[in-house]
Amino acid sequence: MIETVHVNLPGRSYDVVIGPGLLAEAGARVAPFLRRPRVVIVTEDNVAPLHLDALRAGLEAEGISSESLVLPAGEGTKSWPFLEQTVEFLLAQKVERGDIVIAFGGGVIGDLVGFAAATVRRGVRFVQIPTSLLAQVDSSVGGKTGINSVAGKNLIGAFHQPTLVLADVALLGTLTNRDFLSGYGEVAKYGLLGDESFFDWLEVQGPKLKPLLNGDNTVSSDAVSNDVIAARVEAVRWSVQMKADIVERDETEQGDRALLNLGHTFCHALEAATGYSNRLLHGEGVAIGCAMAFEVSARMGLCSQEAPSRVRAHLKDMGMKTDLKDIDGDLPDADALLALMGQDKKVVDGKLRFILARGIGEAFITSDVPAATVLGVLRDGLAAR
């Protein structure tokens, strides 16, 4: 049940290996890239108690020693203080260019550690072992690394491709339901931006992917069936293959890669408005942003009104946030949210680029979006709160 997606970039190609039980195989899979039997691991304090020992055991099985740094979980870790802590740790461990740094966690750890690896000694190699669904399907692949600024999300960073990605889908069973669904926002995005057949598949298979829940809505420790594991492998494989195809065409986001930002212009503004806090997880913002992008598209006559309705219906079937009213607490007014969008990386020549759609699976990039239409969607969403 192991699948491999190859990311073909001249001189920087790598494999994304997807399947259950990959932590136990980590040593065997990392060893071919090592010049000496030693790695440095950076992880966070939600992942470490659950999985760090298993990763170490997988490495030790091949005679690979490791040292680890455990950082706080949460979006706040993608910041200057923790970047400095990570860089100084790597230097204290005397990491050399020929060594491997392992980013072991969700998207926050992957982005932070990848950026640290890009800067230490002007670039050391790193391996992504993503532990969240969001990281497995999106942030661990493609080489975008970075931290947040007070001016906006992911505004400081570098393109630095990993040497290897190990996506162990067995780890998804320990995610909370909310964290899993946050990652599902990125999975759904792939079907919405470029492959309606994938979205069709998700409408049928999506509910099967979710963690098993106890009566009190906590995650069950019951073993999931082989069918569920297989469905998770397929969802991750399909998402990663779509991203790999786009990254191969446009590694540094000069064109097509911007399609991967479907929903993100709204999302990043909402994350800034909520202080990058637990009020809104990234994938939740992506889901809301995708629904709003389709709503803007429908109001501009680019797609039918049935398209945003279908988007919201599937996300609601999965138990996800779909509208501004689903965000707890106060939000700025529509004009302030539009101003936050202006800080997004997708501003080019002073114009905000949106990813809109002509239908499910038919996204495109445009700067020709009337501000009044965007404000109307925002105002309607705020009025419904």
Distance of alpha carbon 33 from alpha carbon 39, whole angstroms: 11
Residues 6+ apart with CB under 8 A from 77: 44, 71, 108, 109, 112
User: Given 38, 189, 282, 346, which residue is catalytic?
Assistant: 282
User: Given 264, 312, 345, 346, which residue is catalytic?
Assistant: 264
User: Given 44, 75, 186, 234, which residue is catalytic?
Assistant: 186
User: Given 153, 257, 299, 346, which residue is catalytic?
Assistant: 257
User: Given 44, 251, 253, 271, which residue is catalytic?
Assistant: 253
- 29 is an active site residue: no
- 153 is an active site residue: no
- 314 is an active site residue: no
- 261 is an active site residue: yes
User: Given 46, 148, 154, 261, which residue is catalytic?
Assistant: 261
- 243 is an active site residue: yes
Distance of alpha carbon 27 from alpha carbon 8, whole angstroms: 24
- 186 is an active site residue: yes
User: Given 56, 144, 160, 346, which residue is catalytic?
Assistant: 144
8 A C-beta contact, residue 100 and residue 39 = yes
User: Given 56, 125, 268, 353, which residue is catalytic?
Assistant: 268
Q: How far is CA 294 from the centre of its chain?
A: 20
8 A C-beta contact, residue 90 and residue 121 = no
- 264 is an active site residue: yes
DSSP state of 213: B
- 67 is an active site residue: no
- 144 is an active site residue: yes
8 A C-beta contact, residue 232 and residue 201 = no
- 268 is an active site residue: yes
- In single-letter form, the type of residue at position 113 comes to V
User: Given 56, 160, 243, 321, which residue is catalytic?
Assistant: 243
> Which residue in 263, 23, 9, 26 sits closest to 143, CA to CA?
9
What positions carry a catalytic annotation?
Answer: 122, 144, 186, 243, 253, 257, 261, 264, 268, 282
